[in-house]
Structure formats: structure tokens, C-alpha cells
Structure 1
């Protein structure tokens, strides 16, 4: 069974997933919350929330030809965005090598070390104000679910020890991941393993702690063709303003419309089941909010409403 076949099988094997997620979910808050209104909960109780603007990593891909630099965030269309920036770095080379935006994986990327930086200022040094910084943000709940299914079910990197030793149990993972984030945000040296790079907050990347207001942020959605079309239009408008030609814009648009890769989990039975379980549980969602509170706030997503039993 190859990876694509295994992905299809595991994402529709409900017996395994339901078996590991039968634990009853408490109705009350783990943190003693006494109100269902948690819009400002981390402003009032900062010690129980994951901090904003911890410096985790910055992965910049640049196109000096068009004065544009993009920051990659895992599970925010990062593979396709990296390919787009490689194409814009050298369109002729990209096309002459018969590369595709949807097949340009991280391990075989054409532009390795050519347009890659770990610091915004290095990427755009000696530049003028015509440079544009681009990043995709993703709804925190949607991003968490996508990461959990991809990293903990579809392709766990550490076998049975993956995902906080929780196997497929989402409740176990959420609680342990919250505790792990709280610990790591205060560590002198963060662990930064492969799972961390996927689950840690979006606002910890991209030099957002000092550059957030300089970025053009496109909200990444991929639940249906209409939402994907909105993302493509927003990106097309931004690239057009950087004087990128129509032929290149058409190529990017055409390729992005094919961008539902094997990593896409949105249409699976597992996704439907776990999403319903998560968003219907105020107990679990409070952990999600406390982990990603500043992603909700900084990228303008509504804080979910909770309904605790008192």
C-alpha cells in the first residue's frame, strides 16, 4: 500500500478513530472559567495562555525580480507558496525544468538555497519601499484539525510515540500540547521538533514580533472551491500590484486550482468526526483558545463561543 492509498484508507477508517476518542468530555472548564464569554480571557488571565510573539522560526522565500518576499507557515499552503516563490524567482528555469507548483515538494525544491532566508531583513536588504511581504494565515481551529489529522493520523513521524504518546486520541493530545506550549514558551532553548513546527502558534513565525504590520496577510481557506477561489483572487491581486505579467499570473492561478494534494484532509470522514467532536466541546475548545488566543486576535478571527456547565 503506497502513501496515497494508505491516506485514503486511514482517513476513512472510522473504527480506529472512534475507538481512541470514546473518552467522555467534561462539561466544566479545566481552568475554573466562570463565564461563557472568553473574548478577553487571556488579557485577564495571561499565565494560563500561550504567549504571543515568541520567536520560533522565520522561513522567507524571495523574488528580487518582483520585490516580493513570502513567509512560509506549515499547514498554511506553505508547499504551494514556496513553489510560487521559486517560480517567481526564475520563471524560465522553473518552466524549462518542467516543474509544477503542485508537485514541488520541500525535499526536491528547485530553488534550494537560492532564494531562502531565515530573517526578513536579510531577504530584503538594500531594498526600497516597493517590496511586499506576504504570508498566509489560517483559522486556528481549522489549522489545528488539519495538523492533527495529518501529523497524528495520516503520517505520524515517531510511530506510536508521535503526538505526545496519545496515538489517535485528540483529547489527550490537546491537553498535553497545551502543557508543552506553556513549558516551551519559557524555555531558554526550545525543542523545535517536527511536530512543534506544525502545532506551535502562527504568530511565533515570520518575525511577526516586529514585522507584523509590514505584512500583507491573506487568510487561507480551503473548505470548498469558492473559498479557494477567494484566496487565489487575493493572491492574484497582490502579485498584479508587483507588476507580475499576465502569463505568470495565469500559470499560478491554473496550478493553484489543482492544489488539493494528498495532504488535504478536509473531505475525509475522520475530519468530519473530529471537527464535530472538537467544536461541540467547550472543554476542548477552551484549550484551543488558550493555545491560539493571539492567532485569533492578531489575524482577526472571532473567538469561539463556549458554553460551560456551572
Structure 2
């Protein structure tokens, strides 16, 4: 277990917390992962897709120094795969530079020989065939993770820490709920076709949902019907053809619960459905079903937001 494999996920850990997309990147790498950062031992216990785990524990997360520290150990790894989390996107180009490899960013699939990259706002898929060692970032929320595995015992990787002139972290702030990537969101308000009347333009309604969600510390998501209509961006689409999320709380406004949508919900701890149909699949799977008109509920929440 000491030799690193041909394809390896590298995941940056802060204080024992895994970033969004970590398990997906590990699964895409065949279950092999190197955890680097602070609190890697705790993070190893939270991974659901790891088969082999190595750790490099550091006092903090300085991307330049971390890249220089890991470069020698990754020399024999053909494909270094990182989740496209904020830290992953920060470390990836530095690793590419330190190891003299090309960087392929925004992959939706990756193996030992090729990567499929999403371009032109997900309208174009470009397949790249590797001619040598590479660094790749995997977009969170596009793969899913399958059945969870029992976490293996991690092996501490022996490395010589390298200090370089680096960016100084002054403060790490929580992301704004309105703009955070859905894969990172702990609370999500989802808007469906039932939130907009027949023939109406739902752009303003989705904007209201976004504002109400942010007021309550949540992020706004949508179904494919809503994003295809142009009322919300495709980066907000939840489902098997959108992003796969795993929030603690999911509130569905006017969403019937088609399998294409619910297949992207992960394992939310709590689900609330607001719908006039008590028999729809979303209400059936919810912990709390509110049988009411979703647009009216949203308008009332917006009124309270404005009065607050």
C-alpha cells in the first residue's frame, strides 16, 4: 500500500472537513486518495468511496508550499485528480507547474487515458486523450458516489515539508448562500414548475426564491423544467442531468418529484415539500409535507423577509 497508484485523487482538507466533490473524485480515481492538509485523519473516516488512503498532515493549507511538498511523491502517478472545490482549483495549477504537467480543468469524466471536459456552459463536451502525466480537476455534482464503503485505515505518507513564498491566509469566510455552489450548500430551496403559473415568465419568481433562500441561510436550486425555460442558470439544476447535491435540508417548492430530479438529491437529512398534490412523489418522500399553493407560500415568506 506504500506505492501510489497510476490514478490518484488528491483532496485538500481543512480542519478535518472534506470539500464538496471529494467522494466523487475518489470514486472516479478507483477509490485511491491522498488527503493533504489539516485534520486528515478525521477526514479519512468521513470518506465513503475510499479503498486506499494516504495522508499528509500539515499545520495549515498554503497551496504553494503544499504543491512543492507533494510534487516528489506524485512523480510516479500518471493522473492526479482533484475535486474542483475552491482549494482544489487553487492547488491544481500549482501542482501542474511543480510537476511539469498539463492541467485539464472542469472534467466530468476521467480515467487513466482520457478526460471529458465540459465547455461552453455545458453545451460542449471535449474529450482529451493523455499523452503523459496530467493534473485534472473534476467538477463536483456530476458523477455521484454509488454505494458507500467502509473507510480503510489511512497510511501516513513520508514527505519532506517544503516552504515557499506563498499567499498568506488572513481569513476564511463562509460562502454567501446566494452564490455558493450547490454541492457545497447545507440548505437548499428548490423551485419547480409548480412555482410558476401557466404561460408566465418565472425569472422574477426564481429571483424571489433566491432572495428568500439567502435570507434563511439557504441556496436556491431548480428542476430541469425551470433551467430549460431560462428562469435559472444550469449550474442551479439539481438532478441526474444536473448537479448531485447532499444538503442537510431540502425544501421543494412546487416540485412533483420526478426521478430525474430526486436522483440528484443525495441523502438529505430533512426534506420539506410544498405542493398542492398530497400524493406526489416529493411529498411522499418528505419528512414534512405542506399541502399548500407553493407560489403563495413563497410570496408570504418574501413579505416577511421585506418586513424583517
Same fold, TM exceeding 0.5? no
TM value normalised by structure 1: 0.26
TM value normalised by structure 2: 0.26
Structure ranking higher on relative contact order (CA contacts 8 Å, 6+ apart): 1
Instruction: Decide which structure has greater helix share.
Output: 1
Bigger radius of gyration among the two: 2
